[in-house]
Structure 1
């Protein structure tokens, strides 16, 4: 099957790079590239500038693993946050989601993924050592494991619980079950089973 070039190499490269962004396949990348080119002054130029700034200024926080323009990040340096409560998440996107919910004024720790032996991801590939060091400092009294309800997420949660057992900290996890506004008929069996196991007094 021949691959006919439909545009210059610069445009092709833009499409190829956009296609690597999660959520954008080749077709979506072509549409996005065409839209950016059509709106060159309003979108493409400012986007290029913003990406250059991000490349120069964005850092990974050496304390929690968040991304920010400062190290330590703004969350770690916020004196209004409770230093005794640490929410452990898999990725920065999870941290952002919890921050949007705005229900807890705690600090965070980003693991950078989950344990997955089949993919060659063990404890050394994750941000676990620094988590243990933070807990060993004695300021943290509760760890909230806000990992995904996947096999890998639960494996990681069990491993972390074992690793934290000797520090005298309270280890909790997010409740699993029926989402707010959810209808039972539309939920999968695993969610319903978790909801029944995690039932609370009404």
Structure 2
């Protein structure tokens, strides 16, 4: 079995804009960008900073130089599929740290907000709703509330499933961008449990995304 290893840490240039997102949050943001179809660079580039910078072409260019190599590393990691792909919060042989996952998800959530209609449709479709549900235990939802006793165990399970789900999300995004028949079929009709999974894994739906 292939051992998944997280892609390399962001390689920063000698001069780094201190306003850029922290590395782990940046990894989540860039991953979110890659699993959201039809995003133009102009739509997501300003999200690289904690606060929206003034329109400064030189600063924007430097920010892109800082992160584009890492974005390519995430793309390359996605080509390994599952279980080869692992986001930056993963550490080989260890359970993901909930604090690290929460920070990573904060960046991913920022990318999701760039395309609310797309992600609302994903969350409402019974075939893909599980993908989005995996993130909810790591999101900042405002007012504290009393959690169930096994909340941390559920987070452990969801953190372990996230890499596999992200591979499926990436495949869905690529199919949407390519307008492949498989995605159109997924959007207009239900996928049978014994049919090939629309995420492109080549496995039956019941043994792939339906089992996530």
TM range (shorter): under 0.3
Q: Which structure: larger Rg?
A: 1
Which of the two has greater helix per residue?
2
Q: Tell me: higher relative CO, structure 1 or 2? Use CA pairs within 8 A at least 6 residues apart.
A: 2
> TM-score under structure 1 normalisation?
0.27
Which of the two has greater strand per residue?
1
